């Protein structure tokens, strides 16, 4: 009994170790958002920008500093001997900026807008990553679809070889038909093998995109079992107009949002630079405590305090303020031009994806019709060959046309979903 339990435990353990996880598209996106280096870089850029904004806010808060020093002090007055005393001094200093005509306010506003821009860029990086995952996911499904087509082709070639051998034995066909069938069977095996290698290569690309090897490689990509010939019936039918898609993109595309924040930040930099023409008003207070020897008790104070209101105005800076203002204005123009460039690129992306989607949808429908016609042609060619009305070349051409039509249908079907993913990405959905 004990040995039986041990055997069962070993079998259970081996079964657990051999477990394979099935990953859907959503699973892959979740894994990528956790492990992808470029997504993490985007998050870190945003975190750094938030820290800079927090640092800038500190310029408006009170500054409190403690100074302490100790040592010996030597002094000599005229007609007196030199006096050496111990020196221990501590000073607590506090200051508060009262008003600076927008210099620091502009810096704070600029860093806050920069943080929002980096946040938008982070969202855009996530959107780019989701697009890349969708593209490789549907490309893998396409490769799996091609694999099934090649399996069908292999079955056809095996069937044809058996048919040719049967007809040769019956004296109906010649040896050349058998030889040709063997060649085409080996070619079908090669094509099937290449399809398997393509899936393996695409898996490595997927792992590079998501930034990790899920479950140590013990996973498979979920692929819906679909009848290839009915793919055209499974396409989404309704799509918004191009104008509505463009309007949606202008409202939701993170790249455009980030560009607007950069413009606002550049304008805040202009206001900060203009503050250099005007004074800065600050409140400052100091309290100093020091150890005084008896010999200097009547000369040096043990404690002293000071409160002052200071006005600092740089009346001439060698045209540096002028240059800083002009540079900041150039920054606004540059940010605005960059935003316009991005808007035009977004418009082109939406248009291109919309055209590609329509084209691929029509390609699926047409390829479905071609596949149906090629299948009927293959059936007719098989009957003609069996009744000695058609030769082996006619039959093989019909088989090739059918397999090619199936491959084109699979390619166009998944290309449609890749185009749909590209459109979603282009409009920021």
Cα(399)–Cα(230) distance, integer angstroms: 19
* SS3 call for 162: helix
Q: How far is CA 367 from CA 138, 313, 376, 408, in A?
A: 18, 77, 14, 7
Cα(120)–Cα(111) distance, integer angstroms: 14
CA 181 from centroid of its chain's CA atoms: 49
Residue 144: per-residue pLDDT? 93
Q: Would you list the DSSP string of 85-113?
A: EEEEEEEEEEEEEEE-TTHHHHHHHHHHH
**Cβ-proximal residues to 203 (8 Å cutoff; 6+ apart), any chain:** 140, 221
Structure token pair of residue 396: 């093989």
Angle, helices 242-252 vs 320-386, to 10°: value is 140
Residue 30: CB atoms within 10 Å: 13
pTM: 0.82
Query: How do residues 62-87 score in pLDDT, each as one tens digit?
Result: 888 888 887 777 776 666 677 677 77
Identify whether the C-beta of residue 225 lies closer than 8 Å to the C-beta of residue 399: no
Please work out, in degrees rounded to the nearest 5, the angle formed at the alpha carbon of residue 85 by the alpha carbons of 83 and 86: 170
> Which segments of the chain have a pLDDT < 50?
14-16
Residue 16: per-residue pLDDT? 47
Query: How do residues 114-128 score in pLDDT, each as one tens digit?
Result: 999 999 999 999 999
Structure token pair of residue 420: 């749909």
Which 8-state DSSP code applies to residue 214? G
Which 8-state DSSP code applies to residue 370? H
Q: Tell me whether residue 145 is exposed, middle or buried, using C-beta atoms within 10 angstroms of its C-beta: 0 to 12, 13 to 18, 19 or more.
A: buried
Cα(99)–Cα(272) distance, integer angstroms: 13
Domains of the chain and any CATH numbers: 19-57+100-278+319-427 (1.20.1600.10), 62-75+83-98+279-312 (2.20.200.10)
Cα(296)–Cα(305) distance, integer angstroms: 19
What are the DSSP E strand ranges found in 206-321?
219-221, 280-290, 303-312
Would you say the C-alpha torsion 77, 80, 81, 83 has a positive or negative sign? negative
Cα(350)–Cα(243) distance, integer angstroms: 10
Q: What are phi and psi of 102, to 5 degrees?
A: 90, 0
**Cβ-proximal residues to 412 (8 Å cutoff; 6+ apart), any chain:** 360, 363, 364, 367
């Amino acid at each position: 009994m004990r040995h039986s339990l041990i055997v069962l435990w070993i079998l259970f353990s081996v079964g657990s170790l051999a477990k394979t996880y099935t990953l859907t598209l959503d699973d892959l996106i979740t894994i990528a958002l956790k492990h992808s280096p470029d997504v993490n870089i985007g998050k870190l850029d945003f975190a750094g920008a938030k820290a800079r904004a927090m640092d800038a806010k500190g310029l408006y808060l009170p500054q409190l500093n403690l100074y302490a020093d100790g040592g010996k002090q030597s002094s000599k007055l005229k007609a007196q001997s030199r006096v050496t005393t111990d020196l221990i001094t501590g000073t607590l200093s506090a200051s508060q900026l009262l008003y600076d005509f927008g210099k620091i306010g502009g810096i704070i506003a600029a860093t806050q807008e920069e943080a929002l821009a980096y946040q938008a860029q982070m969202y855009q990086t996530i959107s780019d990553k989701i697009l890349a995952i969708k593209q490789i996911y549907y490309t893998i499904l396409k490769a799996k679809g091609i694999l099934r087509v090649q399996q069908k082709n292999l079955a056809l070639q095996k069937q044809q070889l058996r048919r040719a051998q049967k007809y040769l034995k019956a004296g109906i066909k010649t040896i050349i038909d058998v030889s040709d069938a063997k060649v085409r069977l080996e070619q079908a095996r090669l094509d099937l093998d290449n399809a398997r290698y393509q899936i393996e290569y695409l898996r490595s690309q997927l792992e590079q995109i998501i930034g990790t090897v899920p479950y140590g490689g013990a996973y498979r990509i979920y692929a819906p079992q679909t009848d290839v010939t009915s793919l055209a019936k499974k396409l989404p039918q309704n799509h918004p107009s191009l104008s509505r898609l463009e309007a949606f993109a202008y409202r939701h595309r993170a790249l455009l949002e980030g560009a607007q924040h950069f413009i606002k930040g550049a304008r805040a930099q202009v206001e900060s630079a203009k503050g250099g023409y005007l004074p800065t008003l600050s409140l400052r207070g100091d309290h100093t405590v020091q150890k005084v020897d008896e010999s200097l008790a009547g000369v040096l104070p043990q404690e002293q305090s000071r409160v002052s209101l200071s006005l600092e105005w740089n009346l001439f800076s060698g045209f540096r303020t002028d240059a800083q203002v002009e540079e900041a204005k150039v920054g606004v123009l540059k940010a605005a031009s960059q935003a316009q460039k991005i808007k035009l690129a977004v418009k082109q992306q939406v248009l291109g994806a919309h055209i590609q989607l329509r084209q691929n949808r029509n390609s699926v429908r047409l390829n479905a019709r071609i596949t149906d016609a090629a299948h009927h042609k293959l059936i007719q060619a098989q009957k003609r060959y069996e009744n000695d009305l058609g030769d082996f070349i006619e039959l093989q051409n019909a088989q090739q046309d059918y397999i090619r039509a199936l491959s084109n249908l699979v390619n166009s079907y998944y290309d449609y979903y890749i185009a749909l993913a590209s459109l979603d990405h282009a409009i920021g959905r």
